Homo-oligomer: A and B are copies of this chain.
Amino acid sequence: MNAPSYRSLEQRFARMGAINEAAGMLHWDMAAVMPEGGHGARAEQLAVLGVIAHEMMTASDTAELLAAAEAEELDSWQRANLAEMHRLHTHATALSPRLVEAMTRARTACEKAWRAARPAGDFGAVIEPLRHVLDLTREAAAAKAEKLRLSPYEALMDEFEPGARIADITPIFDDYAAFLPDFLGRVLERQQSEGAPVEPAGPFPIATQKALGERVMGILGFDFRHGRLDTSLHPFCGGTPDDVRITTRYDELSFAGALMGVIHETGHALYERGLPEAWRRQPVGQARGMALHESQSLLIEMQAARSREFCAFLSPLLRETYPGNDAAFAPDNLFRLYTRVAPGFIRVDADEVTYPAHVILRYRLEQALISGDLALRDLPGAWNEGMRHLLGLAVTSDREGCLQDIHWFDGAFGYFPCYSLGAMNAAQFYASAAAADPGIPAALGRGDFSLLLAWLRENVHGLGSSLTTAEIVTRATGRPLDAGVFRAHLERRYLGV
């Protein structure tokens, strides 16, 4: 093969990839181990790495190389790599340096104002900085929409989940919104009739929780030669595919949050670790998008780890780890603890049944904000009306309403749908895996994730960004995303139908 332009691009993107990996490690360090006094220097380091990577991407000859490489003879992975290079280049060059700098500044100011406004529930205190962020985001969305030939909101989503389209998502979310009220009523009625599950009694020392977390990570297939478990304020999965760093946070009075955090992040970690090794630090070797990423964490957490089968496996492990809680750790009681449904105000605390309602609300509102159909001063009212409509809850403070999430205040419009698309994709992947290999659920009951992981490696992880999410889903499950599979999962799990 002789493809000089493509080869040059590969070298340039390999450099950018290494810089991004370095920045990723420094981000992990900042969240997991850095002393507070390190922030100033770290900000300098990350800013310089960001500028250097951006300069490489937007160098004057990159566009020429991209055009020339189109005419070169490439195999399918190289072709897909080139397409990703194009997409990243378009995103990077669509915005003027002036706009990028203004957005960075506006986001920093707004996030700071939000940190003060949230505890006070004072939306008015953040409306001006948020307006500035929103105005710039709309400007950026318009600029990207033109280059990407998408609607402005889709152009924003494309950064997080390439290929996400309103025409695909809206009907899925509308169907779920219509399905939810009646279904939720039946689930709550059924759970009430069963009575409350037994709660395990603590305290649960943190060292024991960490050891349990690492043991469970090993069971799920996490390779500690290529990763670590640490602690941070917000659990996340960082690092690189060859060195995956996940974190959780601990509460001495309850271990379930930390353990489920570990399991969720391990799902992300398994995806990163399974990315195609031959394409490290190339665009096509990266994880596809955030919806697909979330599908992998939710598949491991919601589909696999909260299943009756895995609860049966976990039961003796928990009894051994925390003696004196035999009733709480009975398999059926564990399952009921881990599938408790309760509508609430806070997205991050939501169960898998009500979670999509939180996302649908935000999806509708952020589209209206970007299009201009909703004015910022009307956001709290629209939020509260949406919560009443979707979950029947009356919001009494913006602290538990439109101020709860950092996303918008940090300029991340278009991200929210990824969470529920992920949950729905997860259900569809898991159903197809179990159909392809009917031994998978029973294996989870023995703490054996190898069959499931093998299916995921072949059907999702190993594909990197060589296909679109829709293509990956169709290839793996025989059809595009079908939210009916998610609903069927919920009906089976929560109503036993």
Interface residues of A (CB under 8 A from B): 14-15, 18-19, 21-22, 25-26, 29, 33-38, 40-42, 44-45, 47-49, 51-52, 223-228, 240-243, 280-281
Contacts and interface: CB of A to CB of B under 8 A. Distances in A.
A22 B49 contact: yes
Copies of the protein in its oligomer: 2
A45 B280 CA distance: 12
A26 B45 CA distance: 12
Contacts of A38: 226, 240, 242-243
Contact of A48 (B19, B51, B226): B19
Contacts of A21: 41, 44-45
Contacts of A40: 242
B240 A37 contact: no
Contact of A26 (B22, B224, B280): B22
A153 to B, nearest CB: 35
A26 B19 CA distance: 12
Given A22-B45, A41-B21, A49-B22, A33 B240 contact: no
A227 to B, nearest CB: 6
A45 B18 contact: yes
Given A14-B48, A15-B51, A38-B243, 7 more contacts: A19-B52, A22-B48, A33-B228, A35-B225, A37-B242, A37-B243, A38-B226
A243 B41 contact: yes
Nearest to A228: B35
Contacts of A14: 48
A240 B49 CA distance: 16
Nearest to A23: B22
Contacts of A52: 15, 19, 52
Nearest to A41: B242
Contacts of A225: 35-37
Given A22-B26, A22-B49, A26-B22, A37 B281 contact: no
A243 B19 contact: no
Contacts of A25: 25-26, 29, 45
A34 B244 CA distance: 10
Contacts of A26: 22, 25-26
Contacts of A42: 243
A29 B245 CA distance: 12
A37 B14 CA distance: 20
Q: Which of A14, A21, A48, A280 has the most CB of B within 10 A?
A: A48
A436 to B, nearest CB: 29
Contacts of A240: 38, 41
A18 B35 contact: no
A416 to B, nearest CB: 31
A116 to B, nearest CB: 22
Contacts of A226: 35, 37-38
A122 to B, nearest CB: 30
Contacts of A49: 18-19, 22
Contacts of A41: 21, 240-243, 280
27 contacts: A14-B48, A15-B52, A18-B47, A18-B48, A18-B49, A19-B52, A21-B41, A21-B44, A22-B22, A22-B26, A22-B48, A22-B49, A25-B29, A25-B45, A29-B29, A34-B243, A35-B226, A36-B225, A37-B226, A37-B227, A37-B242, A37-B243, A38-B242, A41-B240, A41-B243, A41-B280, A42-B243
